[in-house]
Structure 1
Amino acid sequence: MTTLTTPRSIPTNEGTDIRLKDILKTLPKECFQQNQRKAWLGLLTNVLLVGLGYAGIAIAPWYLLPLFWIFTGTALTGFFVIAHDCGHRSFAKRRWVNDLVGHIFMLPLIYPFHSWRLLHNHHHLHTNKLDIDNAWQPFRPEVFANSDKFTQWGYRLVRGRFWWVGSIAHWAIMHFDWSQFSGKNRNQVKLSVSVVAIFAAIAFPALIATTGIWGFVKFWLMPWLVYHFWMSTFTLVHHTVSDVPFHPASNWNAATAQLSGTLHCNYPRWIEFLCHDINVHVPHHISTAIPSYNLRLAYSSLKENWAEYLHKESQFSWSLMQQITDECYLYDQKNCYRSFQDYHGISR
């Protein structure tokens, strides 16, 4: 039997009159101010660090390659965070600059910018809304029991020790399908898919022609897998622990969902630096207009004014991931998350 953490007392959504705008009023105005020097300096630093990582991969002996893969893949996650700011229009004041930088920095990751932007905004609008949020949505027991065997197997996989492939599945299944969009949004998604398809059609054959299949694996695939490890880990940890509440639309409240359903996890400082403090995630859910370099300032304010609604901070570790991947499988309104062992009659 899996040992479960006793849920702490988190304010429920029912009966609350807290609104997001009430929280926003307490944040310092500096949190929302764009600083172009910080933005572009962060971008240039990130480019240099990624270049350093690739240079290391090129010259390192085989036994040091894993270290450079980890470094380069983590730095490429910083590329994604820069594009993430662009998607929320918090990188630059001009929309075309955000779109251009966002597309360029997602190219090495083969990520269509506009499809990610639109789907990610859906997550922000419906954070921890049961059956609607599109980021690490938990299965209810009855949904899991009525799913086909392949879906059950896949869910067990990405909710267990293979959580780090979850973002790969999300990327492949959701971000290249423009049929789920309409009108202007569909055209934008088609553009983004075309951009990454053209890039891959040129870059991958050129890489293989000059460095061979091993070069493709060494220079692109392995750093890309490290990037997805962090993508899966960040997004899972941001909203998942055994007592984090999800609510149906009927009693969902945006303010408490963002405050109590978004978690702060501390990572080693070098990871936070390379990934532009994306782990400081609660203020980002209060307002996507806060640039990444202002997240720590905003979080300090939230701790000062809204501490009773914030979930306890966690420390990234294997024990944390073990706890999440052991406990957080199926969800019900009464008990929050439970492991498979806590339910009888679930298909195995």
Structure 2
Amino acid sequence: MSCRLALVDSLFQFKASPQKPIINKRNIAVQFSSPGICNTNGGSLVGKGLGHQSHLLPLRKHTAIKAVAVPVAPSPLESDEYRREIAEKYGFEKIGEPLPDNVTLKDVLNSLPKKVLEIDEMKSWRTVLISVTSYTLGLFLISNSPWYLLPFAWAWTGTAVTGLFVVAHDCAHKSFSKYKLVEDIVGNVALMPLIYPYEAWRFKHDQHHAKTNMLYEDTAWHPILKEDFDSSPLMRKAITYGYGPVRPLMSIAHWVMWHFDLKKFRSSEVKRVMISLACVFSFMAVAWPLIIYKTGIMGWINYWLMPWLGYHFWMSTFTMVHHSAPHIPFKDSDEWNAAQAQLNGTVHCNYPKWVEILCHDINVHIPHHISPKIPSYNLRAAHQSLQENWGKYMNEATWNWRLMKTILTICHVYDKEKNYVAFDELAPEDSGPITFLRKAMPNFA
């Protein structure tokens, strides 16, 4: 599941160059602040860790400066009490303690029972049957509902068609069938009603799994970079709305920007992407005119557009819940740890039972990141195994308003120390949408 703000992706792909330290020839101001790292800033050496005291040290001609190791304070997340406090504050049931550095993704994967990786083609086709049946029922409800019940029919149908996406999702990860041709056909056909080019999405989604929570390389929701936020008033406004009130539908922007531009793919991928593009354009050329001919423009809105928007609501919401939380860091590639990102940096979230059934347990998401080859119908068994062996490191929630409010009003601009800084903390005068959400959204878990 993936969605970084597409406008930012398309216009701003740069990284600040490192600053060279400057040392004053006459003296050095040594400043102690928060734990961990010493760096230089202008004419000063800034040491983070011991308050805010400054001392001027005169330098003689041959004075030598020796580095002193400063103990790094333990992470606050190592405290049970602190984790309970922020779990309550953010809307989580449980926030996992930090995973030790010496644990590898292979260690976690090897702890899973081998049967959770086995493909059962009958169960795979059962997921297709559930999705096709529920989608058909949704279309029937739309055609027979009075106007005041249409939103419920749209919600059901949009959720049902999200199940078709999950079928294609299994195909993309080679967990649907033992035959790749079958997976390619089913994947393309399942995504045609969503106008989603299967191969284009698959290539980008694979990158999300390989580099989950990697600051620049992950293709899912990212924190905004401060240089993007400060780049222009227009960009700031677009970002504030996109990562604020519009965020539950922002996968539409990602869909537009990432899946139809052949320049974003390797030459070896282009042929397969073009096949998928041909599939979705064929659906548009045949199905859309047929719907309009039979039911008119309002029929096209009722039968296709509104369920499609419902799908994007789930696509956006699932992704940001799985991969955005104030305590979960995004890291540069040289600091990134696969096990920490996949087990400790992915969120399990329980949704209402009908959503779980129609969406084939896609929100049992941690085992899917431990191994994408686990079929959707085995995710719960895999999750149970992870809880038994690694449960104290796992983040878990049940969907609630406080969780959503946390994501929409806090998880904004990247900060290496804090993980996120909210828009209204950086630019309160331009953050009306975030202020509105803080006041308007419920805060109960």
Give the TM-score normalised by the residue count of structure 1: 0.94
Deviation at residue 341 of structure 1 after TM alignment: 2.7
Deviation at residue 265 of structure 1 after TM alignment: 0.7
The answer to whether residue 113 in structure 2 is matched with residue 28 in structure 1 is yes
Select which of 384, 389, 406 maps to 1:323: 406
**Equivalent runs, 1:267-282 vs 2, <5 Å:** 267-282=351-366
The answer to whether residue 158 in structure 2 is matched with residue 63 in structure 1 is no
* Corresponding residue SS for 1:251: coil
Partner in structure 1 of residue 164 of structure 2: 79
The answer to whether residue 250 in structure 2 is matched with residue 163 in structure 1 is no
Deviation at residue 187 of structure 1 after TM alignment: 0.9
Compare 86-95 and 155-164 and name the one that shifted more.
155-164
Flag the structure with higher helix content. 1
Structure 1: how far apart are the matches of 2:99 and 2:371? 21
Structure 2: how far apart are the matches of 1:85 and 1:344? 42
Q: Percent identity?
A: 46
Compare 322-331 and 117-126 and name the one that shifted more.
322-331
Deviation at residue 134 of structure 1 after TM alignment: 1.1
Partner in structure 1 of residue 331 of structure 2: 247
1:340–1:346 CA contact under 8 A, matched in 2: no
Residue type of the alignment partner of 1:337? Y
Query: What root-mean-square deviation, in Å, do the aligned CA atoms of Structure 1 and Structure 2 show?
Result: 2.0
Residues 193-251 of structure 1: CA distance to partner in whole angstroms, max 9, x if unpaired? 12101210111111111110000001000011111100000011010111111111111
Partner in structure 1 of residue 58 of structure 2: none
Higher relative contact order by CA 8 Å / sep ≥ 6: 1 or 2? 1
Partner in structure 2 of residue 11 of structure 1: 98
Structure 1: how far apart are the matches of 2:408 and 2:124? 35
* Corresponding residue SS for 1:337: strand
Structure 1: how far apart are the matches of 2:307 and 2:409? 27
Compare 147-156 and 84-93 and name the one that shifted more.
147-156
* Corresponding residue SS for 1:91: coil
Residue type of the alignment partner of 2:405? Q
* Corresponding residue SS for 2:347: coil
Partner in structure 1 of residue 264 of structure 2: 180
Deviation at residue 12 of structure 1 after TM alignment: 6.5
**Equivalent runs, 1:36-47 vs 2, <5 Å:** 36-47=121-132
Partner in structure 1 of residue 206 of structure 2: 121
Structure 2: how far apart are the matches of 1:234 and 1:150? 28
Select which of 419, 425, 442 maps to 1:336: 419
* Corresponding residue SS for 1:265: strand
Residue type of the alignment partner of 2:279? V
Structure 2: how far apart are the matches of 1:42 and 1:344? 47
Q: 1:222 to 1:326 in 2, by over 3 A?
A: same
Structure 1: how far apart are the matches of 2:179 and 2:233? 48
The answer to whether residue 388 in structure 2 is matched with residue 301 in structure 1 is no
Partner in structure 2 of residue 215 of structure 1: 299
Deviation at residue 289 of structure 1 after TM alignment: 0.5
Q: 1:212 to 1:345 in 2, by over 3 A?
A: closer
* Corresponding residue SS for 1:69: helix
Structure 2: how far apart are the matches of 1:60 and 1:82? 28
Gaps of 5+ in 2: 1-87, 432-445
2:96–2:393 CA contact under 8 A, matched in 1: no
Select which of 374, 397, 420 maps to 1:314: 397
1:130–1:246 CA contact under 8 A, matched in 2: yes
Flag the structure with higher strand content. 2
What is the number of residues matched between the two proteins?
342
Select which of 303, 306, 313 maps to 1:229: 313
Residue type of the alignment partner of 1:309? Y
1:6–1:243 CA contact under 8 A, matched in 2: no
1:256–1:309 CA contact under 8 A, matched in 2: no
Partner in structure 2 of residue 285 of structure 1: 369
Q: 1:253 to 1:346 in 2, by over 3 A?
A: farther
1:204–1:216 CA contact under 8 A, matched in 2: yes
Structure 2: how far apart are the matches of 1:112 and 1:36? 24
Structure 1: how far apart are the matches of 2:177 and 2:412? 39
Deviation at residue 4 of structure 1 after TM alignment: 7.2
Deviation at residue 152 of structure 1 after TM alignment: 2.3
Structure 2: how far apart are the matches of 1:346 and 1:20? 44
Structure 2: how far apart are the matches of 1:105 and 1:149? 40
Compare 196-205 and 70-79 and name the one that shifted more.
196-205
* Corresponding residue SS for 2:414: strand
* Corresponding residue SS for 1:299: helix
Compare 285-294 and 158-167 and name the one that shifted more.
158-167
